[in-house]
Structure 1
């Protein structure tokens, strides 16, 4: 490509990014969420050093590792208020999608910045892509990440409690009370007639739990970095090296307590999230810069998400995974699933379950080279069902 053509393309991308930025309004705010829940007292090693982080990972990875039931020492009642750092972005002008609110939930080791990548945002920011299509979008830091509360990593940060928080946030969005405590904002309170839940990895699992427990809260679900497959669970957690977060980077993570672990390096992040074909070095470096700790109890508690079935979910579900997702499929997702199997086992009442594999892509779709192509598939799916 000629230098003149490169300059033209660069100016086009820059103009597109500026246009999207100019067409949205965003507000950051805090949601105090009161949770009354029953967690579990799981047996697991404590993590207060890098050495103990390795031992914890081995405890969850050896062939005879206890399962969640074997680790469970009984119920733990939780009655507490957790502060959730949230961000709402809306199109600057009313659109035909203004009544369809997207609520996005990222996976472990990320905060809400997963959805708003700042390296070539015209290609990688899901927020900007959604705004360009006319959708308002809500993101939030899950407990134990970012600017939200950092509760006890063994007893409080568990999957069931996170599903409850997601349900409360969704209810607030539906009831028009998201911004009730926010002053000095020009953004109007959303009044959605439909809510679409968008997930990545463990965030997709939490949304699947929401659909199981509160099926009447969602109109549609887009679940990325998530694929129930014949290879699921084959890659042990010890494959992905972790440090004790406050020791790994005291400046960034010194406020995190016992039981918070963090992926160690760009090499580890590449292994978890990227493929060689989808990797751009600048995006790997950005992923290292924004990575977040994880609470160890999340690894024992994932089954809690499906423990209390409620009203059946009847909307559509799009399941999206990278073709070479190492976490979900041990590196190759082709032939490892059937749509009927996923529907019957996970979303039996759904009106439609469609699986899409993004070529040459790993576990984290927003930081892959072909992110914008994934976004287009997601929006096309929603439009097929009237959203």
Structure 2
């Protein structure tokens, strides 16, 4: 892998054939009954580290410690989305895609390597329309207070508003109505899709929960492994309010980052240290150094200026532990994922475990999880300690009324399903399952 081809995100121009896509802004009105928490210091990286230590302390429920009461959050917000459909028409069934922590809607439609890892590409080829959203509070959707507004419950209300709009034909930029809406989630997006089905069981026609199980016992390990930083400090050029002019000069005019590599080599040479291009690239791209110089150089977009309370994993090594199965993922795509990562809010972490224990949803459910998933399987989905076939298979207890329940393990795959070599094979499994269970395009 040559540094010249992997230093910057490989955002290849042009959509693949046979689909039409558009970026939308969807207005939503929400009313959410949720927790009111004490203020949590989260400005410095030492603050965020202290928060993680308190949250993961053995025998302690930190959410309960911080909870002061409850409030009803109401407001009008915007959800950013990407709508795609086959060139021959939208059809009557749409997949509503909700990303997990660390990503945004691009998780489902990665442009890397000419869309070879795109879930949307495969779904549209099978005749489905798709709507991938930035969850409320994340990416290009409305941002808000990261402790007491952007919590799981508020995001579920936003998801319900979007779903209802798809059925009614009231989404700006989408002229069609859809008879069936299948909710496809990843990780926290799956948690929310499950939670949504428990609150609004008649507003979904099918669930595909990827990167998921009913076992939440590995959450403390996940939070610890992230080595959480304040987003605005970790990537100041994207998440803060810093100018990227100086960095652009330091990197040099080459998109490959050759100027920076040469500068680091020159600096170290003065101390008698010689590193190859590959060694320098690995040091920059996989550590916090790479995050410090990651910005909107190519797109020209303004920094997002997230407030404190929006947190991110420290670097690619932290992300690898949680999301990736070593030896079975494309390192170039992993670097791109780090450069384009999105944050998690303190409020989301404090409320991620508040979902109802069961859902009364009566339709089909597929749990689709990598066999080496860390956050929901502890990196071994077969190690149940019970008679269950797998840890994801135990999720059947959450759906006592489902018409069909199936748990599928994707081989040689970690938590970040779309970043592994065999991603598209997994997408085909999902589309086939949908078609076999009355949810074909």
Taking the aligned partners of 2:417 and 2:377, their CA distance within structure 1 comes to: 15
Measure how far apart 1:60 and its partner are.
0.7
2:371 pairs with 1:376: no
Shift of 1:22: 2.3
Structure 1 unaligned spans of 5+: 1-16, 183-187
Deviation at 1:239, TM superposition (A): 1.9
Larger Rg: 2
Number of aligned positions between the proteins: 358
Counterpart of 1:209 (choices 177, 192, 195) is 195
Alignment correspondent of 2:155: 162
Q: Which residue of 2 aligns with 1:105?
A: 98
Query: How many Å separate the matches in 2 of 1:250 and 1:275?
Result: 29
Separation of aligned partners in 1, 2:193 and 2:114 = 25
CA contact (8 A) 1:121 1:128 kept: no
Equivalent residues in 2 for 1:199-348, closer than 5 Å: 199-229=185-215, 232-233=218-219, 235-254=221-240, 255-306=305-356, 312-336=360-384, 337=390, 341-344=394-397, 346-348=398-400
Q: Distance in 2 between matches of 1:343 and 1:44?
A: 37
Distance 1:230 1:197, change over 3 A: closer
CA deviations on 1:47-86 (whole Å, 9 max, x unpaired) are 0111111111111111133253443210122121111111
- TM-score computed with the length of structure 1 as normaliser: 0.87
Residue deviations 1:279-307, cap 9 Å, x none?
A: 21111111112100110111111244438
* Structure 1 residue 352, shift from structure 2 partner: 1.2
Secondary structure in structure 2 of the residue aligned to 1:329: coil
- The answer as to whether partners of 1:325 and 1:333 remain within 8 angstroms in 2 is yes
1:121 deviation in Å?
4.5
Report the counterpart of residue 350 of structure 1 in structure 2: 402
Note the C-alpha offset of 1:191.
Answer: 1.8
3-state DSSP class of the match of 1:287? helix
Unaligned residue ranges in structure 2 (runs of 5+): 1-12, 241-304, 385-389
Task: Trace 1:187-198 onto structure 2 (pairs within 5 A).
Answer: 189-198=175-184
* Cα offset, 1:236, TM superposition: 4.6
Shift of 1:224: 0.3
* Structure 1 residues 362 and 145: CA distance shift in structure 2, 3 A: same
Once residues 119 and 153 of structure 2 are traced to their aligned partners in structure 1, the CA distance between those partners, rounded to angstroms, is 27
SS in 2 for 1:64: coil
1:38 match:
33
Secondary structure at the residue paired with 1:137?
strand
Q: 1:14 corresponds to which residue?
A: none
Distance in 1 between the 2:179 and 2:74 partners?
31
> Does the CA contact (< 8 Å) of 2:16 and 2:115 recur in 1?
no
How much does 1:250 deviate? 1.7
Using the alignment, how far apart are the partners of 1:169 and 1:88 within structure 2?
12
Matches of 2:192 and 2:403, distance apart in 1: 20
Does the 8 A contact of 2:21 with 2:85 survive in 1?
yes
> 404, 416, 419: which is aligned to 1:364?
416
Contact 2:369 2:392 in 1 (8 A): no
Give CA-to-partner distance per residue, 1:149-181, whole Å, 9 cap, x none.
1100110011111111101100000111112xx
Measure, in 1, the Cα distance between the counterparts of 2:396 and 2:63.
24
Is 1:139 the equivalent of 2:132? yes
Whole-Å separation in 1 of the counterparts to 2:379 and 2:391? 17
Does the 8 A contact of 2:216 with 2:353 survive in 1? no
CA-CA distance at 1:215 after TM superposition? 0.5
Alpha-carbon distance between aligned partners in 2 of 1:339 and 1:267, rounded to the nearest angstrom: 26
Which whole-Å deviations, capped at 9, do the CAs of 1:85-135 have from their partners, x for residues lacking one? 11111111037xx21100000001111010011223443100111111110
1:84 maps to which of 54, 79, 83: 79
Q: Secondary structure at the match of 2:221?
A: coil
Alpha carbons 1:45, 1:55 under 8 Å: kept? no
What RMSD in Å do the two structures reach over aligned CA positions?
2.1
CA distance in 2, matches of 1:277, 1:361: 10
Q: Distance in 1 between matches of 2:381 and 2:220?
A: 13
Separation (CA, whole Å) in 2 of partners of 1:236 and 1:125 = 26
C-alpha separation in 1, matches of 2:222 and 2:335 = 25
Contact 2:104 2:342 in 1 (8 A): yes
